[in-house]
Amino acid sequence: MDHFVYKHGALHAEDVPVAEIAAAVGTPFYCYSAQTLTRHFTLFREALSPLPHLVCFAIKSLSNVAVLKLLGDLGAGMDVVSIGEYLRAKAAGVPGDRIVFSGVGKTRDEMRMALEGGIRQFNVESEPELIALSEVAAAMGLRAPITLRVNPDVDAKTHAKIATGKKENKFGIPISRASAVYAEAARLPGIEVVGIDVHIGSQLTDLAPFEQAFAKVADLTRQLRAEGHDIRRLDLGGGLGIPYTQSNETPPLPSDYGAMIKRTVGDLGCEIEIEPGRLISGNAGILVSSVIYVKSGEERDFLILDAAMNDLVRPAMYDAHHDIVPVVEPPVGVEQQRYDVVGPICETGDTFAKGRDLAPMQPGDLVAFRSAGAYGAVMASEYNSRPLVPEVLVRGDHHAVIRPRPSYIDLVKRDVIPDWL
């Protein structure tokens, strides 16, 4: 469910006409719905009740500080994978004891900064990282709270670039070695073991791989407790998928996910942490763009937009589908036209959709890419020297620019010509 609907023939973000925002900020721009973000977070919180739990939003999916404050004020924790994301969470007012630090390549400087600022736990991904973290924490007179991320060798049955739980992936410690590595962690002076972490991938639309992985985590919990470790938290990661089309895609609901968690690990007496990103933010955002030209080719027609692959890279990177809808609702029964929807970048890969049926479009018409809230703005670049696009947050009948569009002058002035040129 989202809050981007047609009202009186015009697409609205909650109670604000999208065309009104476009007139104020120009195109392209990202637009997020506060009501949708709130609803999706609340569904996860309700799904895990009454288990002790913390829902940590995966900042990598949408990192704008205003969005983080909205979720943080609702009680969300934050899952970060860099010190930049950590500082964004802190800037949003989220306390350190609600921030979890994930990622395979944490540096010693990042570890030190997180320990200084406060951290709930580090999700440690390797033995070298474990040793480095112990040395950093011990030098500060601290013990770093950690879970070890175990790799359960479970096929998430998702896109190869976002699968993280198979033995050939770079993530985590093989579950077969977990006992030995936990024993090593217990001996290190700067480490406090608090739990287990697992994350098998992103955009999963079937609960079976989760259930398989969580059953292995339950068995490991019992084994590690028998070996003397105080396993009191289970970080189960994120990865639950969303419907990217308005067709018959039906990923599991958060309530189904929560019931499965209770069934597999709910009897262990552990605090449960989950790290959803896409399901909270994905359908909470759209990318709005204007048609520059309609170009007729020999074999196909092209809809050339002012948005490009630098603004939304998912179709080029993952062959991802996004529904594309006109901002002005087309008349009922209008005959559709088939377009390749493309951007202005000098790459054939700058293609959002091939052979997409849409209502006939004209230069200046507005279109919206649905389900663009996750991995949209955060993965954008300035390729072709195109400035990053604005981000707008809507609540009810109010909207605000939460990241302005930089000027071309700002973009160019960042470069520095050395005095010897």
The CATH number of the domain where 341 resides is what?
2.40.37.10
Quick: pLDDT tens for 366-400.
999 999 999 999 999 999 999 999 999 999 999 99
Q: Residue 233: what pLDDT? A: 98
Whether 120 and 149 share a structural domain: yes
Q: Which of 246, 274, 302 is the last residue of a domain?
A: 274
Say whether both 269 and 294 belong to one domain. Answer: no
**Tens digit of pLDDT for each residue in 69-79?**
999 999 999 99
Q: Which domain holds residue 344?
A: 4-31+282-413
Closest CA to 83 of 59, 67, 47, 48: 59
Ramachandran category for residue 146: left, alpha or beta (phi over 0 → left; psi -120 to 50 → alpha)? beta
- Quote the CA–CA distance of 75 and 93 in Å, as a whole number: 11
pLDDT band at 282 (very low <50, low <70, confident <90, very high): very high
181 within a domain of the structure (yes/no): yes
Give the end-to-end CA distance of the chain in Å, rounded to a whole number. 56
252 pLDDT above the threshold of 90:
no
266 and 334 housed in the same domain = no
The answer to whether residue 296 sits within a structural domain is: yes
Domain stops at, among 224, 250, 274:
274
Based on the fold, state whether residues 266 and 311 are members of the same structural domain. Answer: no
Residue 401, token pair as written in the block: 């620019």
Average pLDDT of the chain is 93
- Please tell me the total count of domains within the chain: 2
Give 155's pLDDT tier (boundaries 50, 70, 90). Answer: low
183 and 312 assigned to the same domain: no
Residue 139 structure tokens: 């030098």
Question: Residue 205: its pLDDT value, please?
Answer: 84
Predicted confidence at residue 376, as pLDDT, reads: 97
**Separation between Cα atoms, residue 45 and residue 49, nearest integer Å:** 7
Q: Tell me how far apart the alpha carbons of residues 96 and 115 are, in angstroms, rounded to a whole number.
A: 9
φ/ψ (deg, to 5) at 119: -150, 145
The amino acid present at 368, given as its one-letter code, is A
CA distances from 68 to 57, 199, 388 (A): 8, 22, 19
Predicted confidence (pLDDT) at residue 215 exceeds the cutoff of 50: yes
Model pLDDT, residue 311: 98
**156: pLDDT strictly greater than 90:** no
Domain shared by 124 and 211, yes or no: yes
In the predicted structure, residue 310 carries a pLDDT above the cut 60: yes
9 DSSP 8-state letter: T
Residues 187 and 310 in one domain: no
Calculate what percentage of the chain has a pLDDT beyond 90.
Answer: 87
Q: Could you tell me if residue 89 is inside a domain? A: no
- The answer to whether position 49 is within a domain reads no
Secondary structure of residue 123 in the 3-state scheme: strand
3-state secondary structure of 170: coil
Going by C-alpha positions, the residue among 380, 317, 385 that lies closest to residue 351 is: 317
Q: How many CB atoms lie within 10 A of CB 107?
A: 13
What DSSP character marks residue 345? S
CATH number at residue 119: 3.20.20.10
Per-residue pLDDT, 250: 77
Q: What is the DSSP string of 126-166?
A: SHHHHHHHHHHHHHTT--EEEEEEEE------S-GGGB--S
Determine, yes or no, domain membership for 82: no
Is 408 found in the same domain as 333?
yes
3-state secondary structure of 181: helix
Can you give the C-alpha Rg of the chain in angstroms? 23
Distances (CA, A) of 143 to 54, 98, 100, 136, 226: 22, 17, 15, 9, 23
**pTM (predicted TM-score):** 0.94
Q: State pLDDT tens for residues 72-128.
A: 999 999 999 999 999 999 999 999 999 999 999 999 999 999 999 999 999 999 999
Tokens 């050939």, located at residue: 168
Tokens of 81: 């994978």
- Which residue in 28, 27, 31 sits closest to 11, CA to CA? 31
How far apart are the C-alpha atoms of 132 and 322, rounded to whole Å? 42
Same domain, 328 and 397: yes
Q: How far apart are CA 49 and CA 57, in angstroms?
A: 17
Euclidean distance between CA atoms 274 and 210, whole angstroms? 12
Catalytic choice (31, 56, 270, 346) = 346
Structural domain includes residue 10: yes
Residue 56 is a catalytic residue? no
In a domain, 156, yes or no: yes
Assess if residue 216 is contained within a domain.
Answer: yes
Shared domain check, 246 and 292: no
- Per-residue pLDDT tens over the stretch 159-214: 444 444 444 455 689 999 999 999 999 999 999 999 999 998 878 888 999 999 99
394 and 323 belong to one structural domain = yes
- Examine the domain organization and report whether 227 and 299 are in the same domain: no
What does the DSSP 8-state code read for residue 343? -
Residue 305's contacts (CB-CB under 8 Å, 6 or more residues apart) are 28, 289, 290, 291, 292, 341, 342, 343, 344, 352, 367
Tell me the C-alpha distance between 85 and 83, whole Å.
5
Share of the chain above pLDDT 70, in %: 95
Give the mean pLDDT of 207-230. 95
Q: Which of 231, 255, 274 is the last residue of a domain?
A: 274
What is the per-residue pLDDT for 172? 81
